[in-house]
Amino acid sequence: MRRSPCVVAGSRPRSLRIRRPTRLSRARASWGTMRRPSRSSRRWRTSSHSLKRRSPCVVAGSRPRPRWLPPPTKLSRRPRSSPMAADSPRVRVGTAAWSDHQDFYPKGLKPGDRIAYYAQQFSVVEVNSSYYHIMPERNYRLWVEKTPDDFIFNVKAYGVLTGHKRDQEATPEIFDAFRASYLPLREAGKLGAVLFQFPPWFDDSETNRERIAWCAEQMADDPILVEFRHRSWLTPPRQESTLDFLRALRLSYVTVDAPQVGAGTAPLVPAVTNASLAYLRMHGRNTGTWYKRVETTGERFNYLYNQDEIDELAAVAQQLTQQAREVHVIFNNNMQNYAVVNARMMVDALGLGDSWHPGPRQGSLGI
């Protein structure tokens, strides 16, 4: 008999008790019969593999810092009768996190009001702070109140659950507390999916496939995104097996564009494993800072995509729309205001400006 888990605030809603036992059985057909960890064990130990890093190549030259990005003159939600909202797959463009974009928010805007301003510019965002700790439910409730009805949040999974925090063990209680925290998003219909970004040392193995299946079971019916960092998952001999494995679990694979530095970086492999949602996530291409000790997290993502690169990635996004009903395109190159600059460029490249950003732009991107 399962113990009653601890929840961050208040009692756990009954809906959180629903589990999906069929996910694991479907997955086994794609990767053989494996012994899964029992929930009664109530924990999962993180692999102790260490990543052997190659000396990264420093990107030559530097890019000019973009100037301030002016807001659209008026926000207009996509009409229900528009082609994008009807027969075509919907494409949402946004950034990973929203609080630290430089030269983006009007001067004097309170930090608590930034999400409201951001939601006037883009239709989706990743909650990044949820990776570092389980957020209070009230935070999500405030974000729900300050964003349009059709705005979407994707929540990054708590680092303990993905194995990043090796000094802590993932337990069903932690999963339940994490899921309870973003309940306001689920209730408001603003939850897109939960992003499980696994660490660079998380390679393709029987144990780690069991780990993913176990995580999926703990998450019940919440949509799940899976991002791999270790390239063993996507090398030609194992690539199809990996994608079939995710399809069997009904998990959405994250197509990644990232610096290519050793075995701990996944190649760009466009694919869809769940027709309800495809995901394209950009980290920049700065090999000189990707796995380097830096003073701030933003320095790792010190890369501004140029127009040719944006056009190439827009073609990838369009490729994903051939198999998915909705595609999210997220920029995680959060240095200065690079992410919002590139997100605006992507909106234009995909021809989404008239549907989410009507009216003339005041000024230029300054690239």
Rounded Cα distance between 205 and 247, Å, is 17
What dihedral do alpha carbons 87, 89, 91, 96 form, nearest 10°?
140
**pLDDT value at residue 309:** 98
- The residue ranges of every structural domain in the chain are 20-31+72-356
Tokens of 249: 């679990």
Rounded Cα distance between 268 and 54, Å, is 19
Rounded Cα distance between 206 and 106, Å, is 50
pLDDT higher at 189 or 366: 189
H/E segment holding residue 240: helix 236-249
What dihedral do alpha carbons 359, 365, 366, 367 form, nearest 10°?
-140
How many helices (DSSP H) and strands (DSSP E) are in the chain? 12, 8
Q: What is the pLDDT of residues 47-82, one digit of tens each?
A: 433 333 333 333 333 444 444 343 433 333 333 222
Q: What is the pLDDT of residues 169-197, one digit of tens each?
A: 889 999 999 999 999 999 999 999 999 99
Q: What is the pLDDT of residues 132-172, one digit of tens each?
A: 999 999 999 999 999 999 999 999 999 999 987 766 788 99
Q: How far apart are the first and last CA of the chain?
A: 60
Rounded Cα distance between 318 and 321, Å, is 5
Between helix 206-218 and helix 236-249 the angle, nearest 10°, is 20
Q: What is the pLDDT of residues 200-237, one digit of tens each?
A: 999 999 999 999 999 999 998 999 999 999 999 999 98
- The CATH number assigned to the domain with range 20-31+72-356 reads 3.20.20.410
Tokens of 194: 């939960």
